[in-house]
Structure 1
Amino acid sequence: MATVLAPIVPAVAQSTILPTLVINAGGLTPFEEKEIGRSVTVIDGQTIAQMGTPYVADVLRMVPGFAVSRTGSFGNKTQIRVRGAEANQVLVLIDGVPVGEPSDGEFDFGRLAVANIERIEILRGPQSAFWGANAMAGVINIVTKSTTENGVHGSVAGEVGSDGTRMTSGALQYGQDNFDASGSVTLRGTDGFNISSFGGELDGATHIDANARFRADITPQLTLDGTIRYGHLYADADGQDFSGIVQDTLDTARVNELYGALGLGWTSEDGLWFQNARVSGGTVERFANDQFGDSLNTGDRYKASYQVGRTFETPDVLDSTHTITLGYDLVHETFQQLVPARLDQQKRTTHSLVGEYRGTYYDQVFLTAALRHDFNEGFADVTTYSLSGAWQVPDTGTRVHASLGTGSTNPTFYEQFGFNPALFIPNPALVPESSFGWDVGVEQSLLDGVVVVDATYFNQTLENQIQTQGFAPSTVVNLVGTSKRQGVELTARVNVVEGLSAGVTYTYVDARKPDGSREIRRPEHSGAIDVAYSFAEIPLTLHGEVVLTGDNLDTDFSTFPATNVTLPAHAVVNGGFNYKVSDQVEVYGRVQNIFDTKYQEVLGYNTQGRTFYAGAKASF
């Protein structure tokens, strides 16, 4: 599926823009959108800004195949599940740097703001052949803003809203012919609301997002780039007691993270040869205080990559162009649990060899193949592969796309070595999860691009699924048998008249454990509707979104043995406006959960009711 959540533009302009969109999360080298056989969604910065939501997690609710679970208030644990997979089976990158925590393999979306994001690129299906472990269900690549304009540019923004919400952000950009740099800082806080159904304590949060990046053309063929990101979160929370009931507690969580990368790229004068070298690193410290005591752990990840490739044409053979890329990755991870006391530092290193082929035939058929072998320290080596293809059928507006591949997810450090004798016992004997998946779909453009629809079927099987067993203390095991995940993703985008656009998505997911029972927190039915209208005579845009979630399962630990219960289906409606006071100043407002819908995404954790927000942004 090649879905693009795009801003309001005329249909003719859209059909011109989309085929040249470049996808950086496509593999070893960037793709154009039309070349991708795998299921892809791209959300651009204008769409993100127009929605007005402050967090990436809420933007991702609009994406087909995605399920979002937030444990109550903003800043609390927020998981993204893709196509029925677990949250640590999707790889999350920010400016190409992996940001999943080494402790549990997940990226917590509860703390990521949208203020300085240029676009979000999403690939669904197994991507381990390109990206290695934890890309079993897909890749989410978040790209921060850069500049292509010379001179100094910047912006400042502020927002206030319900529940004592306040936000301030600023960004600065500088560009010249062979150099550009940008940076931003966002500070956001809220007094919050009571997550638990008991008591009355408010659960608020404060966080800081700061990032900077640069790009310098050392010579016409040699480019240096770098990025750095800092994040801090402090959040109140309510926790479950030994019976599994969410109580009104004084729990708190604190997270500090720092990531950075430096890359060097070279292209030959004729553009046929290219090389890329990149190093990146990150550290995450997570502290929690709850009714069971304190916990503190730190995790580090360092990665070095090298790629070399060659492009060549064979006009006499199927009028084709080919690109072959070879690469090497080195990943070193560490984990240390400081509270409860477990002072020994755990380490593991993976060496990987990877190759990719990309071919274009008659400028309408696009094929991609990749093969990867991971030499793992501490458990078995893994080989993964990927095949995909797309056919842009001439003069029909039809594009057929399909992919298949394998994926792997390594046991997390906490699953292997975490320690809390009253609550959790680790299992060092775990083996990696492995999967095989495929999808096939058709995209159809109608009425000269006024309507674009896509239907995709996907199927994925998982072996050696890692599952938590028991409660206080619990442990983890590899399940025997095969877990099956299959479903359908449907999307449609419509530009009925100039200034009016609408989009609809629907997803059906059937995710099963080896015993045939349904997986929790993966609704079978979900969807979203978005509508926006820009007035021709005044610089005003009105927009609205509806997020639809079907019946959902979660586990009730207040019974013995624990049983699954159904969380009712619900619809959340949001709306807002954006008004351009001038070319440099914009004001906006939005209402979240207009109809004050009462629902839960995780059993026992309340969600926010109707809220109001207003803000302004000035650019220079």
Structure 2
Amino acid sequence: MKKVAALLALPALAHGSMAGAEDGTFTLGEITVTATRVAEDVLTDAIVDRKEIWSFNRSTLDEAVKLVAGVTSTFDSNGRRNEHDILVRGYGRWQVPLSIDGIRVYLPADNRLDFSRFLTDDLAQIQIQKGYASVIDGPGGLGGAINLVTRKPTEKFEGEVQAGLFGADSDDQGWLAAARVGTRQHKFYAQASGSYLDRDHWSVSDDFQPTAIEDGGERNGSDNRDWRVNAKVGFTPNETDEYSLSYTSQSGSKGAPLNVFNNPPNPPNSYWRWPWWDIENLYWLSNTQLGSNAYLKTRLFYNTFDNALYAYDNATYATQSANGRFRSIYDDTGYGGSIEAGMSLTDRDTLRAVVHYRRDKHTERNYNRPTHPTLSSVEPLQETLEDTWSVALENTFKATAAIDVVLGISYDKNDLKRAQEYNTTQALFGYPTGGSDAVNAQGAVHWRYADGARLYGSISSRTRFPTIFERYSTRFGTAVPNPDLESERGTNYEIGWEAALGERSSLSAAIFYNDVADMIQTVVVSAGPPQLTQAQNVGDGEYYGIELSGDAHVLPQLRVGGNYTYLERRIVDPLQPNFRPTGTPSNQAFLFLAYQPWESFTITPSVEIADDRWSDVTGGGYIEVGSYTLANLQFQYAAEHWEVAVGGRNLADENYQLAYGYPEQGRTWFAKFKAFF
């Protein structure tokens, strides 16, 4: 049985091999973990591994994270951008950074990540930090962190292929595939992997009532295509040291379904498509043992992000001639790295220190009315440039053999060096620049009161800097820039318990309270016409709740488990007395059982339950949507070198929405196969 670990699995002080985990997880790409799993083969912690991704058919990140208590995914609050956000205990994509192998994925303009663009079938695991994200891992983790950990070979020669189809009733909607090949030799390894998803469309529930905008069946504008490749080579000169160079590239394109209740569309500039949404990362990771009680880790990276948004005249998506139609092109780069060192000061005292730096450059250009014969125009390139620094210290003190005390502090600084904009009145001009800084502090106590059991408590006070979008975007002429926008701060409190009940069973519970200050809110500053808004630090709030998880093998052939989350969010905005926090239900649960009538065959029914959540309404106001009970089922047969599975999602064909006017998928089926060697 795995024992409950201390708060930190320290990377090298007595770490043993950094060169590879037995399960093929790329350990060099992990972020700081607060504890290992309390038992083998359970689903009660904040890690989703590749077995769970397969068994519950979660091929995109926004679906996979819903297996974890306290985490939900939702449609973007007004739905217009066709983006899926992830909320961790109420904190969204601006407060919970996303990384791949510990390297942050950051979009310098607005960081409006669409989590449904990230495929999961070729990953080793998804790490999710809730509330307490170590300052060692860099700035921005106000509400937690998400890290996608890739795989690494463990055999001299190995590989895997996956393929699958999905659809609704007799309607074939798309397919997906993934492949990996690698080699592990005495002092080096190499691997290449990739995944691809091609969706022609998806279908709404048969219970959906057609409207003038959406006639039912195939959801208009619901196509998407996404792929990712990852390649890595590594040098492992001994049992503790590792040096790795990795490259990740992913590309996506998608449509944007319209709000089914807006006829004609409001605003009229609503016919959007993303012809490309591309991210590339080149990164170096290393770990070097320095004697018996110290280590040095380095991370270097170079990122690019290329994005295009096209706005069309009408539902034919053929011309872009009307006023306000455009082709918006983003071209972003980022580079930087970190140096981390750790040392055992005494047998009971360990200190870690790290310095992070990144530079982000955002370049954008609009082609206005590009298909108009006389009124088309091209804006000059507009550029923003900013530097971000972080210096952090973290100390782990073993008060007793069973109690660990961890204290961390960091200083973060953001320096905006250039912020250009263009309009027909001022031509190309620069906004006022400047910077902001913040001090972050956190602490935790972990008590392993018995073999395979622990109690813990933590406090974490973290900040995040506003994005360029929040500070300067005019949002198509409807917003006033605010260059002096300040940082948000979240102070997160948690008390938790977890225990292993035998080798393959466990229970856990957590109570959390998050105090949020200086929240960045969009407020109306002019009633118009036209109505104008501005991002301001006017919100204060609290998020609190409980999480319960359990997973048990009650019989040799039967495993049952699941989790439940209660979350309450209250935000006070003096300028918006009727403001409602969107995107999160108060009650959410995931339940499953896995029955093996014989060794190679598994039947896995599961159910997802959520009550209402608030959603924005176009034109102002809020409405409650989103209550659902989704029944899912998978049949799986596993042989020595291959597995096959068939099943379905939302078997009752429930008709529901996560954002007002944007119905979700109805009943779907899938069939998939994988082989490994």
Which TM-score bucket, shorter chain as reference? 0.7 to 0.9
Distance (Å, rounded) in 2 between the aligned partners of 1:42 and 1:95: 14
- SS of equivalent residue, structure 2 residue 386: strand
Name the amino acid aligned to 1:114. Answer: T
| Structure 1 residues 40 and 17: alpha-carbon distance in aligned structure 2, compared to 1, 3 A threshold | same
| Structure 1 residues 255 and 425: alpha-carbon distance in aligned structure 2, compared to 1, 3 A threshold | farther
Paired residue total: 587
Report what 1:467 is aligned to.
Answer: 521
Distance (Å, rounded) in 2 between the aligned partners of 1:159 and 1:27: 29
Tell me the CA shift for residue 419 of structure 1.
4.3
Name the amino acid aligned to 2:449. Answer: V
Distance (Å, rounded) in 1 between the aligned partners of 2:469 and 2:232: 32
| Structure 1 residues 527 and 238: alpha-carbon distance in aligned structure 2, compared to 1, 3 A threshold | same
Name the amino acid aligned to 1:525. Answer: N
Report what 1:297 is aligned to.
Answer: 330
Same amino acid, percent of matched pairs: 21
- CA deviation map 1:58-100 (0-9, x unaligned): 1111211112113699x94110011112321101111111013
TM-score (norm 1): 0.87
1:490 to 548, 555, 558: 548
Distance (Å, rounded) in 2 between the aligned partners of 1:112 and 1:289: 21
2:295 to 274, 277, 285: 274
Name the amino acid aligned to 2:308. Answer: F
1:331 to 347, 355, 358: 358
TM-score (norm 2): 0.80
1:544 aligns with 2:605: yes
1:199 aligns with 2:218: no
| Structure 1 residues 376 and 203: alpha-carbon distance in aligned structure 2, compared to 1, 3 A threshold | closer
Distance (Å, rounded) in 1 between the aligned partners of 2:505 and 2:599: 26
Distance (Å, rounded) in 1 between the aligned partners of 2:127 and 2:284: 21
1:527 aligns with 2:527: no
Distance (Å, rounded) in 1 between the aligned partners of 2:239 and 2:499: 40
Report what 2:470 is aligned to.
Answer: 415
1:176 aligns with 2:185: yes
- SS of equivalent residue, structure 1 residue 429: coil
1:514 aligns with 2:579: no
Name the amino acid aligned to 1:357. Answer: N
Tell me the CA shift for residue 450 of structure 1.
6.3
Distance (Å, rounded) in 1 between the aligned partners of 2:459 and 2:349: 20
Matches within 5 A, 1:96-175: 96-127=102-133, 129-149=135-155, 151-162=156-167, 163-175=172-184
Tell me the CA shift for residue 322 of structure 1.
2.2
Report what 2:21 is aligned to.
Answer: none
2:48 to 31, 43, 68: 43
Q: Is the 8 A contact 2:486 2:537 kept in 1?
A: no
| Structure 1 residues 273 and 615: alpha-carbon distance in aligned structure 2, compared to 1, 3 A threshold | same
Q: Which piece of structure 1 moves more, 491-500 or 77-86?
A: 491-500
Unaligned runs of 5+ in 1: 1-14, 315-320
Q: Is the 8 A contact 1:297 1:339 kept in 2?
A: no
Report what 2:429 is aligned to.
Answer: none
1:594 aligns with 2:651: yes
| Structure 1 residues 334 and 239: alpha-carbon distance in aligned structure 2, compared to 1, 3 A threshold | farther
Report what 1:16 is aligned to.
Answer: 2
- CA deviation map 1:365-387 (0-9, x unaligned): 12211110113213221110110
Tell me the CA shift for residue 455 of structure 1.
1.9
Q: Which piece of structure 1 moves more, 237-246 or 411-420?
A: 237-246
- SS of equivalent residue, structure 1 residue 193: coil
Q: Which piece of structure 1 moves more, 134-143 or 304-313?
A: 304-313
| Structure 1 residues 22 and 57: alpha-carbon distance in aligned structure 2, compared to 1, 3 A threshold | farther
- CA deviation map 1:271-292 (0-9, x unaligned): x111112111211122112355
1:284 to 305, 328, 347: 305
Report what 2:342 is aligned to.
Answer: 309
Distance (Å, rounded) in 1 between the aligned partners of 2:256 and 2:640: 42
Report what 1:557 is aligned to.
Answer: 618
Tell me the CA shift for residue 596 of structure 1.
0.4
Q: Which piece of structure 1 moves more, 463-472 or 208-217?
A: 463-472
Tell me the CA shift for residue 235 of structure 1.
0.8
Report what 1:429 is aligned to.
Answer: 484
- CA deviation map 1:37-60 (0-9, x unaligned): xx9511222121222222121111
Distance (Å, rounded) in 2 between the aligned partners of 1:356 and 1:192: 48
Distance (Å, rounded) in 2 between the aligned partners of 1:568 and 1:304: 41
1:457 to 493, 502, 511: 511
Unaligned runs of 5+ in 2: 11-26, 39-43, 205-209, 313-323, 368-378, 416-433
Distance (Å, rounded) in 2 between the aligned partners of 1:398 and 1:145: 29
Name the amino acid aligned to 2:360. Answer: E
Name the amino acid aligned to 1:323. Answer: T
Name the amino acid aligned to 1:257. Answer: I
Q: Is the 8 A contact 2:29 2:285 kept in 1?
A: no
- CA deviation map 1:393-449 (0-9, x unaligned): 136x64211110111111112222334543444322211111211111222444x46
Distance (Å, rounded) in 2 between the aligned partners of 1:248 and 1:159: 36
Tell me the CA shift for residue 338 of structure 1.
1.3
Q: Is the 8 A contact 1:256 1:286 kept in 2?
A: yes
Q: Is the 8 A contact 1:244 1:557 kept in 2?
A: no
1:394 aligns with 2:450: yes
Tell me the CA shift for residue 22 of structure 1.
5.7
Distance (Å, rounded) in 2 between the aligned partners of 1:350 and 1:175: 37
Q: CA RMSD in A?
A: 2.9
Distance (Å, rounded) in 2 between the aligned partners of 1:354 and 1:185: 35
